[in-house]
Amino acid sequence: MRELILTMTMSLDGFVCGPEGELEWIFDGDQEAIAWKLENVRNASLHIMGSRTFQTMAAYWPTSTSVFAPPMNQIPKAVFSGQGPAILKVVETQSNVGGTHSERLQPGAESWGEAYVAGGDLADEIARMKAGDGKPIIAHGGAALARSLIAQDLVDQYSLVVHPLVLGKGLPIFSDVVPPRRLKPISSTAFPGGSVVQIYRPA
């Protein structure tokens, strides 16, 4: 079976973004951390995400020239959404926002419009995705999908990139865990910029 790895970036006090969705703090330019993240993204047979994250990524990655663009575009995607196939229309209306983008679509860009739309029961959908052999399934969030995966105990490995920053308030991902759940620490890797990757598995 394929394993499901939840990869999230979070603050020291456990928030994955600020109260208004602020994410600027996760981009620290630490080259070692970037290299780890790139290896993690490449080591996937499927990328899964919630509808808001999908819409954001589908508008960005198809024309991005980032080092992350090839695996994000070329590896198959699944989006969890109640909208049905309509969620895929965002790919047709994506806009170019400049900066690291090029007008030209990158190889694999069409995969966003071909993403599997998962609209059934979460546990059933994940069970179908896990069936068979292959590289892991990487879950990118957002926070609502992450909370649901955690609450239903569907995560096989947690890869948490913790930044040395206290936000004070924001969106947590472990808020729906009842009763308390123990995790087994697997590894911890510190990067020069101050972030630390903490790997856990269910105990």
Question: For 137-179, how does the pLDDT look when each residue is reduced to its tens digit (9 = 90+)?
Answer: 999 988 999 999 999 999 999 999 999 999 999 999 998 888 8
Find the DSSP H helices in 46-179.
51-60, 69-74, 89-92, 122-130, 143-151
3-state SS class at 36: helix
CA 14 and chain centroid, separation: 16
Query: Residues 6 or more apart from 98 whose CB is under 8 A from it?
Result: none
Beta-carbon neighbour count of residue 75 at 10 Å?
A: 18
Instruction: Check pLDDT > 50 for residue 39.
Output: yes
3-state SS class at 100: coil
pLDDT attached to residue 176: 83
Instruction: Check pLDDT > 60 for residue 99.
Output: no
Residue bearing the bigger pLDDT, 25 or 201: 201
Instruction: Check pLDDT > 60 for residue 94.
Output: no
Find where tokens 């910029």 sit.
193
Q: What is the distance between the alpha carbons of residues 174 and 28, in angstroms, rounded to a whole number?
A: 24
Residues of the chain with pLDDT > 90, as a percent, come to 75
Instruction: Check pLDDT > 50 for residue 98.
Output: no
* Region 83-110 average pLDDT: 70
Beta bridge partners of 61: none
Q: What are phi and psi of 197, to 5 degrees?
A: -90, 120
Query: Residues 6 or more apart from 41 whose CB is under 8 A from it?
Result: 47, 68, 71, 72, 138
